[in-house]
């Protein structure tokens, strides 16, 4: 092991192993040697795997590279970027906090720097990078076996961590769009499932009183049924998008043609009622688990731009939450995102009066944090035309 390791750190680690190991993972004998296998090939990285805090650490760049990820050091922010496709994970040595696809989460123990090389705990490769990780040991050897994540893997566990086990489409925080610009205090209030004759006017009244614009993803059939509400949404300066014709998953996601037809029909109603031709849409239930490559090709090819959310007030449960509980969700899910742009999911559909009742306080929360209020546009960087 390197200098930092032999000079001082090892005795401290050995002393701590017994205690920290209980909290942070398996306890391995300090004298163990580590053999690393990737895809059943034994690997001897330039920086050897090491033990600290009762867990195995692997050199990040080398191991992630062998698993098919690109790793870059971003000197300006002192962070490491781990990339696959357009997915980004950011971590900072010494901190257990990570950020994946725009979402914050935490490892059990932080990555650290040893001899100028960033090493990451084994859990990172299993959870953060979706790899299959196996560990066996005897008295003197620890054998680590890693296989890359399957190509269709999505880093849903970060959402799970943040929301306490609820999936990205269920509640809390969805899979954030990659490439959302950072450092801007802009919140995009979005309302799904309306218009509703009781809830939507309450929402519109509150927005009007606050002088704020929002984005409404309307259900086509409801838009046709409540034309005056759609006209009012447009007249008061808000942005309209499609949330499918009938929100029936089986129908909406039945085929690429069915999805495209559902969006076209809704778009036509909005255009007939308001004169606004919108290409914005939000996938009912979010895109994860619903959209296939062929569906993306169909709707992206037709010019539609999809917006998932980066945070939710989690108001879609039944029975409905109280307005106080909804405001509590805003704190729970948005506090960790403060300082960044937030696309906030809310609902103005059937029986969402409590969301309308919480809206004034939700606006006050963001104002107190120095946020301004934006509306989504087709050229917004979070908009998606493909997978």
Give the binding site for Zn ion (CB under 5 A). 192-193, 284
Label the pairing between strands 141-147 and 55-59.
unpaired
Is the preceding omega at residue 51 within 30 degrees of 0, hence cis? no
- The residue (of 192 and 306) whose beta carbon lies closer to Zn ion is 192
Q: State the nearest-atom distance from the C-beta of 226 to Zn ion, in Å.
A: 16
Q: In 3D, which of 56, 45, 270, 234 has the Cα closest to residue 143? A: 56
Strands 239-242 and 215-218: parallel
Rounded (10°) angle between helices 227-235 and 199-210: 10
Closer to Zn ion by CB, 192 or 196: give it.
Answer: 192
> In this complex, which beta carbon is closest to Zn ion, that of residue 193 or of residue 315?
193
Nearest distance from residue 302's CB to Zn ion, in Å? 21
Kindly state the smallest distance separating residue 223's Cβ from Zn ion, in Å. 13
Nearest distance, CB of residue 315 and Zn ion, angstroms:
11
- Minimum distance from residue 221 beta carbon to Zn ion (Å): 13
H helix runs in the chain, sequence order: 3-4, 10-24, 60-66, 122-123, 156-163, 199-210, 220-225, 227-235, 249-252, 256-274, 293-301, 323-334, 353-368
Q: CB within 8 A of 63, min separation 6: which ones?
A: 36, 38, 43, 45, 120, 125, 146
- From the list 162, 160, 195, 380, the residue with the least C-alpha distance to 288 is 160
Closest separation in Å from C-beta 192 to Zn ion: 4
Smallest separation (angstroms) from Zn ion to the CB of 318: 13
Question: For Zn ion, which is the closer residue by CB, 123 or 246?
Answer: 246
Nearer to Zn ion, 48 or 284 (CB): 284
Comparing CA positions, the residue from 98, 78, 96 lying closest to residue 88 is 98
Residue nearest to Zn ion (CB): 192
Pick the closer one to Zn ion by CB: 88 or 247. 247
Q: Confirm if 240 and 218 have CB atoms less than 8 A apart.
A: yes
Question: In the complex with Zn ion, which residue's Cβ is closer, 84 or 238?
Answer: 238
């Amino acid at each position: 092991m390197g200098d930092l390791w032999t000079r001082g750190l090892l005795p401290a680690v050995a002393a701590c192993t017994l205690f920290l190991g209980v909290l942070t993972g398996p306890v391995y004998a300090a004298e163990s040697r580590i053999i690393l296998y990737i895809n059943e090939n034994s690997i001897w990285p330039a920086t050897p795997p090491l033990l600290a805090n009762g867990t195995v650490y692997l050199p990040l760049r080398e191991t992630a590279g062998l698993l098919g990820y690109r790793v870059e050091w971003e000197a300006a922010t002192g962070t490491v970027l781990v990339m696959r496709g357009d997915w980004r994970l950011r971590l900072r040595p010494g901190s257990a906090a990570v950020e994946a696809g725009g979402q914050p989460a935490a490892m059990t123990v932080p990555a650290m720097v040893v001899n100028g090389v960033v090493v990451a705990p084994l859990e990172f490769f299993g959870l953060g990078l979706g790899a299959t990780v196996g560990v066996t040991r005897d008295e003197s050897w620890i054998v680590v076996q890693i296989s890359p994540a399957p190509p269709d893997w999505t880093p849903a566990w970060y959402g799970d961590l943040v929301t306490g086990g609820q999936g990205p489409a269920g509640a809390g925080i969805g899979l954030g769009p990659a490439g959302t610009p950072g450092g801007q205090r802009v919140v995009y209030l979005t309302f799904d499932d309306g218009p509703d004759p009781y809830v939507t006017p309450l929402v519109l009244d509150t927005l009007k009183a606050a002088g704020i614009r929002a984005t409404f993803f309307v259900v086509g059939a409801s838009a046709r049924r409540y034309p005056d509400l759609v006209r009012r949404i447009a007249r008061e300066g808000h942005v309209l998008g499609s949330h499918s014709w009938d929100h029936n998953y089986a129908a909406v996601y039945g085929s690429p043609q069915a999805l495209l037809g559902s969006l076209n029909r809704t778009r036509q109603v909005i255009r007939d009622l308001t004169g606004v031709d919108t290409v914005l849409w939000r996938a009912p239930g979010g895109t994860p688990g619903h959209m296939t490559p062929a569906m993306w090709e169909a709707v992206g090819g037709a010019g539609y731009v999809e917006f998932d959310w980066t945070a939710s007030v989690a108001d879609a449960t039944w029975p409905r939450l109280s307005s106080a509980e909804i405001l509590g969700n805003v704190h729970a899910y948005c506090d960790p995102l403060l300082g960044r742009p937030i696309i906030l999911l809310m609902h103005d559909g059937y029986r969402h009066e409590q969301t309308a009742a919480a809206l004034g306080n939700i606006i006050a929360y963001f104002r107190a944090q120095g946020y301004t209020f934006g509306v989504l546009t087709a050229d917004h960087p979070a908009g998606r035309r493909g997978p």
